[in-house]
Each structure stands twice: as structure tokens, then as C-alpha cells.
């Protein structure tokens, strides 16, 4: 059976998982595919620390360049966008197939790396860069290849979904849950990449690019994180049959593409609304296939290793058949037209404001909303609080975001409105 040498650069959590996979499941892979990917080495600055996986010591090295030179497939699991970028460029220039999980690098420097790969006839595989163990990139590029993509919705950050799930279950506020999540290892010490939506945006950029044939990068993505989601929003949403999720929204409407990441009300009883805890899910709506959903663990050592290993196998199969670049890393296409700025999108909205509990207040707010061509779908006002202020929650029908923002700016100026007006978008999936 033909063997292929695999070198891992970066012996962190995922690197250890991939090593464990190649060591433990090599015979399963060989049985299924007829080829054998062999772990030929792992490069890291620290080759002493125990990673909980038994790697023969002679496979460990601090010399990444030497490892790259002697293997068939280079697995970049260093992370970051400086050394990893150089390393991948160098590997590609040597004609090596590269496998990476580096979403930030791809979102930012994807086009550069794809060009290097094309020039040298090598290829880059990046299944693990989006939604961990879920084979969503293979689904988009191969399984659903015959579809025009109408919409993609994604819950793609486990930390955010975990926090939102606990806020709902425990009725607690964002800050204490975040702190506890940090203690438990579900959130980083510096949680910004996750909770401010950037990690989701990196993945969103990759999915949108594959769907519409233009490498978007982060720039066109409207990004909002979850720190603005309060316990009362979660409760109001729930009363109205919704759940708040940090959602990636990729849509083609009226010949233009929208790409955005923000807290979003989704129906509680929808499939995407049922994704809880650290799980991820991506809904793809294609013109032929209709609605599909791909669900699983979006992070973690073993789940991510599953995706990296699948890429390694794909790479080895291509090397085995002489079919490298059979499905190249990225192919630009003519389908994409233009991007819709966030002010021009049409959406339904959840509005929450606090007003003085006086007669006529609701009417004044409704008038401002109506004056901006926005139609109200439902209006909810609970009993007065002791301080004479009441929260009001309004769901709108489809409306232009620019008009909604204008209306909210006017409403927040009303003397009966006692605090900032909050809004989240709704997707009735």
C-alpha cells in the first residue's frame, strides 16, 4: 500500500489531535482509502511538554524547514498570520500540498496563498478552518456543487453559543457567564476574537467566498458581537418564540450579496434555533437541494483533527492518483455581482426601548416608526416597573435597515424614552 509522509508544524491542541488521529486510526483510513498517510514528523519550538499523545520521540523536531523538505503533505497548525504565512508560502513553492486550519490567515491572505499554489501546481486544503469537525467546505464545494446558493446561515463560534445557551438556561447576565466560561476553559482570557464576532467573521468570509466565487476577506462583512445581548433580550425573544444566536448571514438577494455577522433572533423550533451549547451548525439553502443543515462540534482537539485528517487523506489520494488540484483551493468566478451595504439590507427587526409609563407614549413611538415606512408586526409592553419605566419590545415586518436606524435615532430623542434604543435583526429561517 502506498504511503505518504505527513509533517505537522505546530504541536498545540489541534496538532496533538491530528497526531493522535494518524497514529490511532491509520489502519481505518488505509482500509477505507487504499493509501496510508504516515506521520513523518512534528515541528514545534517546544518539543518537551507533554501533549497527552504518545509520539515516538524521533518524530519531534524544532526544525520546521527540514521537516517540510522531507514530507509530501505539510500540515500548518501554527496559527497567526506571520510565521504561518511564510511557512505555507515556502511549502507551496516547494510543491508540497498544504493542509491548514488557519481561518484568520485564509480570510486575510487567501488570494495571495492561492496564487502561490497555482503557480507551483500545489494545493491548499482548509476544511478545518470553518466549523471544526463539520465537513462543510467539502459539502459546499463538492456535495452541493450543482446548486446556486441562495442563503447560508451559520452558528460557527462555540464560545458564543455556549454563553448564549447558558444565559438562556440560567437566566443570568452576559458578564458573569463569560467569566465562568473563562474559568472553565470555554472562553479565552482575551475573549474578544470570539465574543466580538471576528472568529465567526473569518469563517463567514471563507464560506461566502466559496458560495459566490469572489475572495471577500473581512472588509465587506458587517460584524457585531454578543456583548450587547442582555438577559432581558433573551427573555423577550423567548416569549415571542425566538432564540438569540450569533449568526453568520450570507445571502444573495436581488442580484447582490449580503455578508454579515450579528446577534440574530431565530425561531426556537427551527433546526438552527435548536443548536445549543458549544455545537456549531451551518444551514445551506441551494436552488436545487433546498434547505440543508450540517451540525457538529466546531472546535476542540479531536473534532478539528477529524477535519484536518480528512484533508490529509484527500491530499494523499490526489498525490496517489496524480490529481493534485482536482478541486483547487479556490476558483474565482463571474457569478458574484455586488455587495449590499448594511444600510440597504431588508430585514425584520426586534426593537427594545424603555419608556415612561404614561398615556400616549406607545402612540408617539408607533407614529415615528410608521413615518419611516416601517410596519409593526407585534408590540409587547409588560407591567410597569416600580420606577415608573416600562420596557417596550417591537417586532417589525421587513424593513430597510437605513430607515430603521433613522426611526430609532428619532425615537431615542423623544422625552418619554429613557434609555438607548436597542435592535437586533430577525431571520425567520
**Region of 67-75, 226-234, 294-302, 383-391 interacting with a copy of itself (CB under 8 A):** 294-302
- Which of 77, 309, 345, 411 is the binder for a copy of itself (CB under 8 A)? 309
Active site residue 203: yes
Residues 6+ apart with CB under 8 A from 58: none
Q: What are φ and ψ of residue 43, in 5° steps?
A: -105, 135
- Which of 46, 142, 253, 373 is the binder for a copy of itself (CB under 8 A)? 142
- Binding-residue pattern over the window 32 to 61 for a copy of itself, x denoting contact by CB under 8 A: xxx---------------------------
Determine if residue 102 is left, alpha or beta; phi over 0 gives left, psi from -120 to 50 gives alpha, anything else beta: beta
Is 29 an interacting residue with respect to a copy of itself (CB under 8 A)? Answer: yes
Q: How far apart are CA 366 and CA 379, in angstroms?
A: 9
CB contact at 8 A, 351 and 408: yes
CB contact at 8 A, 195 and 316: no
- Which of 251, 297, 352, 425 is the binder for a copy of itself (CB under 8 A)? 297
CB contact at 8 A, 52 and 82: no
- Which of 42, 144, 156, 167 is the binder for a copy of itself (CB under 8 A)? 144
Cα 134 to Cα 55, 224, 280: the distances in Å are 26, 24, 8
Q: How far apart are CA 174 and CA 233, in angstroms?
A: 11
Q: Pick between residue 309 and residue 361 the one whose CB is nearest to a copy of itself.
A: 309
**Taking CB under 8 A as the criterion, which residues in 379-408 touch a copy of itself?**
none
* Secondary structure (3-state) at 221: coil
- Which of 53, 223, 327, 366 is the binder for a copy of itself (CB under 8 A)? 327
**Region of 162-170, 297-305, 360-368, 382-390 interacting with a copy of itself (CB under 8 A):** 297-305
Q: How far apart are CA 226 and CA 231, in angstroms?
A: 12
Cell 417596550 identifies what position?
A: 392
Q: Pick between residue 144 and residue 374 the one whose CB is nearest to a copy of itself.
A: 144
Is 331 an interacting residue with respect to a copy of itself (CB under 8 A)? Answer: yes
- Which of 12, 79, 143, 267 is the binder for a copy of itself (CB under 8 A)? 143
Is 158 an interacting residue with respect to a copy of itself (CB under 8 A)? Answer: no
What length is written for the chain? Answer: 429
> Exactly one of 96, 103, 138, 203 is catalytic; which is it?
203
Catalytic positions, written as ranges: 203
Amino acid at each position: 500500500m502506498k504511503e505518504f509522509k505527513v509533517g505537522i508544524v505546530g504541536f498545540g491542541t489541534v496538532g496533538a489531535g491530528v497526531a493522535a488521529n494518524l497514529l490511532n486510526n491509520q489502519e481505518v483510513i488505509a482500509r477505507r482509502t487504499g493509501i496510508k498517510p504516515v506521520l513523518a514528523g512534528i515541528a514545534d519550538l517546544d518539543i518537551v511538554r507533554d501533549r497527552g499523545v504518545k509520539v515516538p520521540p524521533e518524530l519531534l523536531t524544532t526544525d520546521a524547514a527540514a521537516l517540510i523538505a522531507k514530507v509530501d503533505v505539510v500540515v500548518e497548525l501554527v496559527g497567526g498570520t506571520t510565521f504561518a504565512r511564510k511557512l505555507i508560502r515556502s511549502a507551496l513553492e516547494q510543491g508540497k500540498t498544504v493542509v491548514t486550519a488557519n481561518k484568520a490567515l485564509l480570510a486575510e491572505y487567501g488570494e495571495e496563498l492561492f496564487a502561490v499554489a497555482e503557480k507551483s501546481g500545489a494545493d491548499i486544503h482548509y476544511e478545518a478552518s470553518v466549523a471544526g469537525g463539520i465537513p462543510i467546505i467539502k459539502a459546499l464545494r463538492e456535495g452541493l456543487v450543482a446548486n446556486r446558493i441562495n442563503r447560508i446561515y451559520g452558528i460557527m463560534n462555540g464560545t458564543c453559543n455556549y454563553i448564549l445557551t447558558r444565559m438562556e438556561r440560567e437566566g443570568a447576565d452576559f458578564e458573569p457567564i463569560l467569566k465562568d466560561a473563562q474559568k472553565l476553559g470555554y472562553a479565552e482570557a482575551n475573549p474578544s476574537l470570539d465574543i466580538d464576532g471576528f472568529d465567526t467573521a473569518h469563517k463567514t468570509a471563507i464560506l461566502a467566498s466559496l458560495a459566490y466565487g469572489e475572495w471577500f476577506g473581512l472588509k465587506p462583512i458587517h460584524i457585531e458581537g454578543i456583548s450587547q445581548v442582555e438577559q432581558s433580550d433573551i427573555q423577550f425573544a423567548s416569549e415571542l418564540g425566538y432564540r438569540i444566536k450569533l449568526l453568520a448571514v450570507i445571502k444573495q438577494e436581488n442580484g447582490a450579496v449580503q455578508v454579515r455577522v450579528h446577534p440574530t433572533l431565530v425561531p426556537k423550533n427551527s433546526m438552527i434555533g435548536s443548536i445549543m451549547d458549544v455545537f456549531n451548525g451551518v444551514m445551506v439553502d441551494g436552488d436545487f437541494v433546498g434547505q440543508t443543515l450540517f451540525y457538529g462540534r466546531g472546535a476542540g482537539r479531536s473534532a478539528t483533527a477529524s477535519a484536518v485528517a480528512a484533508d490529509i487523506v484527500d491530499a494523499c489520494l490526489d498525490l496517489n492518483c496524480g490529481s493534485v488540484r482536482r478541486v483547487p483551493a479556490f476558483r474565482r468566478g463571474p457569478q458574484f455581482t455586488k455587495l449590499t451595504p448594511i444600510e440597504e439590507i431588508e430585514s425584520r427587526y426586534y426593537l427594545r426601548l424603555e419608556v415612561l409609563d404614561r398615556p400616549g407614549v406607545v402612540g408617539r413611538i408607533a407614529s415615528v416608526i410608521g413615518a419611516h415606512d416601517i410596519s409593526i408586526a407585534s408590540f409587547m409592553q409588560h407591567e410597569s416597573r416600580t420606577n415608573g419605566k416600562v420596557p417596550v419590545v417591537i417586532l417589525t415586518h421587513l424593513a430597510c435597515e437605513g430607515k430603521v436606524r433613522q426611526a430609532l435615532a428619532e425615537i431615542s430623542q423623544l422625552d418619554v424614552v429613557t434609555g438607548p434604543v436597542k435592535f437586533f435583526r430577525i431571520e425567520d429561517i
